[in-house]
Structure formats: C-alpha cells, structure tokens
Copies of this chain bind each other. A is one copy, B any other.
Amino acid sequence: MANYIEPIARLINEFSKLPGVGNKTAQRYALNVLKMSNEQARQFAEAIVDAKEQVKFCSVCGNFTDSDPCTYCRTKNPAQICVVQEPKDVLAIERIGEYKGVYHVLHGVLNPMQGVGVNDIRLKELVQRLNGQVKEVIVATDATVEGEATAMYIAKLCKPLEIKVTRLAQGISIGSELQYADEVTLSMALRNRREL
C-alpha cells in the first residue's frame, strides 16, 4: 500500500496519539502543518516543549501551576477545600466566579474495575491538609458511579475529624425540560427537593 514519506508518516503517527484523533484526522493535521511557515511550525513545536517543561503541579492542591504553591493556594480562603477530579474542573468552578476557597485535585477517581485504588489518587495528600483550619470539604467529583463512590469515601475520611463535608447539588439542569431528564436525575431531584 502506498504511504506518505517518512517525516510525514511520523508526524501523522504523533497526531494520531491525541485523544479522539483517527488516521484521517491526523493526516489532515499533518498536511496542515506542512502548509505552515517554518516560523509557525517552530512556534507550534516550542509550545509543546514549553508547556511540558514549564507546567508543574502545585505540591499542595495538585492543580497546574508555574509557581509552587499555586496562586489559588497562596491567595484563597484555606477554610474551604473543593475536591475535584481533574485540573480542568478547577477552571470550570473558577469560571462561575463565586467560590472563595481553595482546591484539591485528585487526578482521578476510585475505580476498582480499572485498578485505580485509594493510593492511586491524591487522597493521602487531602487527609494531610485536613488540619484545624479547614471548616468544610466540598466534594465536586463527577456525578458518575466512580465520582459518587469517591465522594462517599472522602466523607468517611473526614467524619472522625469532625469536618463538614458537602456535595454539589444534583438535580435538573437549569434551562432543561423535565420530560428530557433521565429517571435517576429526576428521582434525585425529587428526593432533594427544597422548600420555596
């Protein structure tokens, strides 16, 4: 079978390692790189190396940072810790602009089926942060089976320390129609109804 010459084939192979990128898409990306100017291609390559070299994880919260501890850990209220799965979840919460506390990024959730246990995510680091200063742990893991299980586990960890543990509310999405809500969500929304 006919194939691209080696440098192109190698670039296609690199692009196809990205999530959700098949061979056709990787080809399109690679041919696009060939159309760039030398300067543009060099900038692209540099951005990859720079991101990898300059981005570290905060030793306290585990979020992306270029300084350690990160800006959030240095400037926000340490009495509240919001526990999330991934660094991108920190940004999602920062975007609403209301939360004043700090974060703790687990880098995963408990998932015994895939061999992710208690020591594979940053739970030990979370426990180490639970000193007298912490008043509340807000568990903001995804509303998946694994996210729920992880939330339960964290609640159990905090109980003996007498720290308040809360979970993000689950129910109907704002702007969505009741008829399209799935049964589990609807049942959860009914159970957690609140007085007006």
A20 x B11 contact (CB < 8 A):
no
> Is A44 positioned at the interface, with any CB of B under 8 Å from its CB?
yes
Q: For the complex formed by this chain, how many copies does it contain in all?
A: 2
Q: How far is the CA of A149 from the CA of B140 in the complex (A)?
A: 59
Query: How many residues of chain A have a CB within 8 Å of chain B?
Result: 53
A50 x B18 contact (CB < 8 A):
no
List 21 A-B pairs, Cβ < 8 Å: A2-B97, A5-B65, A7-B54, A8-B51, A8-B64, A11-B48, A11-B51, A13-B47, A14-B44, A18-B32, A19-B29, A20-B28, A31-B86, A31-B88, A33-B48, A33-B51, A41-B52, A42-B49, A42-B52, A45-B45, A48-B48
**Chain A interface residues toward B at CB < 8 A:** 1-8, 10-11, 13-14, 17-20, 25, 27-34, 36, 38, 40-55, 64-66, 86-88, 91, 94-95, 97
